Structure 1
């Protein structure tokens, strides 16, 4: 698999084609699975990690599905390439930072990922554009069943699927939806959302999951409990909550437009102007300004930019993406200049095509 080719494409989840994609960037379901004949990852020697990878790698690349998976040897990647696929949401930060034999199976649309030797022997992931949890579940359930025909999972009749972290025991499922909530942030209503989610045992994380900050007003909402409920119940619990947050964000956006359209339009236009002309710009400022622009596009205040282009700019202006585009490592100041150059060209190209 050629990672350089990824700099010329984007995953389906960035295209803004799914349901409610004005608010919901993506939906994701992960499953944690372990093989019964091996100890958990934290008890494995490097030799055992190699055995696990040798066992599952040919299984992953030959799964009888319409979509075929390619395998990427993460252990052989340089640090820049590992960070690149973290930014692309294809592997976790933990997987990138581990050592020893490990890899990931990926499809060409970047919807499916199977991490090998992450925190668990297998971490299955399905990622889709918009609010698409049912589609995620159908796909990942099929992959899980196909894998289980080839390997024996560590499973307890009493506790369910056994995992390295006790919080994942049971179904081993993590259901998450990435939401763009700039209006709730502007009006400081976002704290009410956090408090309400805490009360019903849902977690709120940043753009890159656990331990990451909420950059660009993106928040991941996910389940914390995996034991004592079925996969369908856990998915439904997220499906019940997210529409309320979507509705809340839309109401606040509409209120901002009604109460101060000129002020909001000015904020969006200034953000667009800076991104269009800046000669140097930090990642943090870029995320902040792109958040305003994304809201402006969805409110019809900016007409010349497709939402897919805005979504891509959030990812392609991250440090590893910029360095891959430039063909090598860059110092911080060089990245800031390269980021500004990339933004100017993407925005100007969009203006020209429209």
Structure 2
């Protein structure tokens, strides 16, 4: 499966990526936050050995956050390889990642283990089949905390049941500009789903990119969660396209002007701030989706990730001021666009 950053999805597709994670706890262990640090760390090498022994066709790397610098750890979060919850537990947190960084097995996050896979486009069934294999590998050697009536047990009540969180990332500029996101949220809540901004606030994401995901894991099967989410995603995509048609019919020249101005700024700016880059990038992504700009998804996704402050700072390789970061961010974006 393809890493979403190196996407080969058509530029016209407003779906950016899809992801599934499975939360698991061990029957003989306490929840992560109830464990002593040394006790929690014992899980790390044990799980790594299990996966290396049983996954001969995969090339894994183990990252122990307590051995990493903060800015390096944050790059993994900004590439959506690990969660903010794992970073909060840096003193005991670790993760195992495969070669193309689609699979991440987080250890000592909110739960003992979170198995996550993120790929380009919409491929939820394929992801579930893939990560189920690693879930089984671990369970063959370590019994999970499981209740006959409630399913898999979790530190968070929202994850009890299947323990599965399915997520689809979408670019929704027309619905954002039309202030329709709160209405989308209300509709999603009624069917056990939710929407969150990828960057910024819940209902006003910087860059107009959102995560659509299930809220309910108890009393539903994994296939039901996936099919329900797919139906919701198709409906949201349809609404986004409808509002795009309205914008183009009523404000064609203004929309096109904003797209090409944004492209010009990103190609020529001397300095770029993080939030500004996300906003401008949304417009050129919009232009690519409308067929007005000849830019592939791989380039757009690489700009999105490599312009994040953590990766800019890593690129500079030393402590830097905000001015130096903004200069470097502009250079990164120019190089990628050229």
1:202 is aligned to 2:184? no
- Partner deviation per Cα, 1:219-276 (whole Å, 9 max, x = no partner): 1111111111111111111011110111111222233223332221101001111111
Name the CA distance, whole Å, in 2 between partners of 1:99 and 1:300: 43
Stretch moving more, 203-212 or 286-295:
203-212
Is the 2:50–2:137 Cα contact (8 Å) retained in structure 1? Answer: no
| 1:258 aligned partner | 249
Judging changes above 3 Å, is the alpha-carbon distance between structure 1 residues 210 and 341 closer, same or farther for their aligned structure 2 residues?
Answer: closer
Q: What are the ranges of 5 or more consecutive residues in structure 1 without an aligned counterpart?
A: 1-10, 350-354
Is the 1:275–1:344 Cα contact (8 Å) retained in structure 2? Answer: yes
Name the CA distance, whole Å, in 2 between partners of 1:135 and 1:302: 31
1:96 is aligned to 2:90? no
Name the CA distance, whole Å, in 2 between partners of 1:227 and 1:262: 49
Judging changes above 3 Å, is the alpha-carbon distance between structure 1 residues 154 and 20 closer, same or farther for their aligned structure 2 residues?
Answer: farther
Of 250, 266, 270, 1:279 maps to: 270
Name the CA distance, whole Å, in 2 between partners of 1:209 and 1:38: 35
State the Cα distance separating 1:334 from its structure 2 match: 1.6
State the Cα distance separating 1:209 from its structure 2 match: 10
State the Cα distance separating 1:211 from its structure 2 match: 7.0
| 1:316 aligned partner | 306
Stretch moving more, 103-112 or 326-335:
326-335
Judging changes above 3 Å, is the alpha-carbon distance between structure 1 residues 341 and 289 closer, same or farther for their aligned structure 2 residues?
Answer: same
State the Cα distance separating 1:163 from its structure 2 match: 0.9
Of 48, 60, 79, 1:57 maps to: 48
| 1:307 aligned partner | 297
| 1:248 aligned partner | 239
Could you say what the CA RMSD is over the residues aligned between the two structures, in angstroms? 2.0
Question: 1:81-230 residue pairs with structure 2 within 5 A?
Answer: 81-207=72-198, 214-230=205-221
State the Cα distance separating 1:65 from its structure 2 match: 5.4
Of 290, 300, 309, 2:281 maps to: 290
With normalisation by structure 1, the TM-score equals 0.90
Is the 2:65–2:94 Cα contact (8 Å) retained in structure 1? Answer: yes
Name the CA distance, whole Å, in 1 between partners of 2:8 and 2:242: 22
Name the CA distance, whole Å, in 1 between partners of 2:105 and 2:6: 22
State the Cα distance separating 1:287 from its structure 2 match: 0.3
Is the 1:69–1:106 Cα contact (8 Å) retained in structure 2? Answer: yes
- Number of aligned positions between the proteins: 337
1:329 is aligned to 2:319? yes
Is the 2:181–2:203 Cα contact (8 Å) retained in structure 1? Answer: no
State the Cα distance separating 1:38 from its structure 2 match: 1.1
Judging changes above 3 Å, is the alpha-carbon distance between structure 1 residues 237 and 140 closer, same or farther for their aligned structure 2 residues?
Answer: same
Is the 1:16–1:308 Cα contact (8 Å) retained in structure 2? Answer: yes
Is the 1:21–1:131 Cα contact (8 Å) retained in structure 2? Answer: no
1:71 is aligned to 2:58? no
